[in-house]
Chains A and B, each alone.
Chain A
Amino acid sequence: MKKNILLIIPAFNEEKNILKTWETIQNFNKKNKTMYDVIVINDGSTDATEEILLEYDIPHIRLLTNLGIGGAVQTGYKYAALHNYDIAIQYDGDGQHDIRYIDKLIKPIVEENIDMVIGSRFIDKRESSFQSSYARRIGIHCISWIIKLKTKNKIYDTTSGFRAVNRRLIQEFSHIYPTEYPEPISTVYALNKKYKIKEIPVSMNERKEGKSSIHTWKKAYYMFNVILTILLMKKGDKHGC
Chain B
Amino acid sequence: MVVNLRLFLILLSIILVVIILRLVEKNKLPIKYSLFWFLSSLVVFLVGVFPDFIGIFTGLLGFENSSSLVVCIIIGLLLLITLLLTIIVSEQKRKLLLLIQEVSLLKQKMDQNKKE
Q: Do B108 and A61 touch (CB < 8 A)? A: yes
A interface bracket (residues with beta carbon within 8 Å of B): 10 to 19
Q: Do A82 and B103 touch (CB < 8 A)? A: no
A67–B102 alpha-carbon span in the complex (Å)? 12
Q: What are 18 sample pairs from A and B whose C-beta atoms fall under 8 A apart?
A: A61-B108, A62-B104, A62-B107, A62-B108, A63-B101, A63-B104, A64-B100, A64-B104, A65-B100, A67-B97, A71-B97, A71-B100, A71-B101, A74-B101, A75-B101, A75-B105, A79-B108, A82-B105
Identify which of residues 43-98 in chain A touch chain B, using a CB-to-CB cut-off of 8 Å.
60-65, 67, 71, 74-75, 78-79, 82
Which chain B residue shows the least CB distance to A41? Answer: B104
Determine whether A179 belongs to the interface, using a CB cutoff of 8 Å to chain B: yes
Q: Chain A at the B interface: mostly helix, strand, loop or mixed?
A: mixed
A-B contact number at CB 8 A: 31
Residues of B that sit less than 8 Å from A by CB: 97, 100-101, 103-105, 107-108
Chain A residues with CB under 8 Å of B104's CB are 61-64, 75
Residues of A that sit less than 8 Å from B by CB: 60-65, 67, 71, 74-75, 78-79, 82, 179
Residue picked from B103, B104, B105, B107, most chain A C-beta under 10 Å: B104
Chain A residues with CB under 8 Å of B97's CB are 67, 71, 179
